[in-house]
Amino acid sequence: MEIPPTLTVRDIMTKDLISVEATDEVFKAIEVMTEKDIGSVVVTQDGKPAGIVTERDILRKVCPQQLCTRAVTAGEIMNKPLIHIEADAGLGQASSLMARKDVRRLLVMDKGKLAGIVTQKDVMRGTLETFMSLASM
């Protein structure tokens, strides 16, 4: 019986990250997320990743406080510090880190550089694929 290779975060991550600047108004983040049909954007400062803004952040941090009527920036509501994982980490490590930190997304680093993003959905899909390949053996 041949054992399938172990999937890593690199195998399931999204490589093309979408970002906004920390000084951009939240409305820009909303427009980008809507246009790209995604649930989060990386927030950059001075060209480097500084945080992340999710749909949930917008709903919980902006609208309930009646802030939708003023120019709120992505930097004001982003989650920081960034929680990240190495691209060669296993799916179990990603799942465990997400659970410990109570997050649904991890930025993926490769040799000190931002390489992508991995979500709970990606981890679940990768885990299912692994189980299905084991079941077909």
Query: What structural domains does the chain harbor?
Result: 9-135 (3.10.580.10)
The label of the residue with tokens 């990743």 reads 49
pTM, two decimal places: 0.73
> What's the pLDDT tens digit per position in 18-74?
999 999 999 899 999 999 999 999 999 998 999 999 999 888 887 766 656 567 888
Q: Where are the alpha helices (DSSP H) in the chain?
A: 9-12, 26-36, 55-57, 74-77, 91-101, 120-135
The total of other beta-carbon atoms located within 10 Å of residue 98's CB is: 19
> What's the pLDDT tens digit per position in 104-132?
999 999 998 999 999 999 998 888 887 77
Distances (CA, A) of 48 to 22, 52, 124: 10, 12, 29
Q: Supply the mean pLDDT for the chain.
A: 87
45/110 Cα distance (integer angstroms): 20
Peptide bond into 81 cis (omega under 30): yes
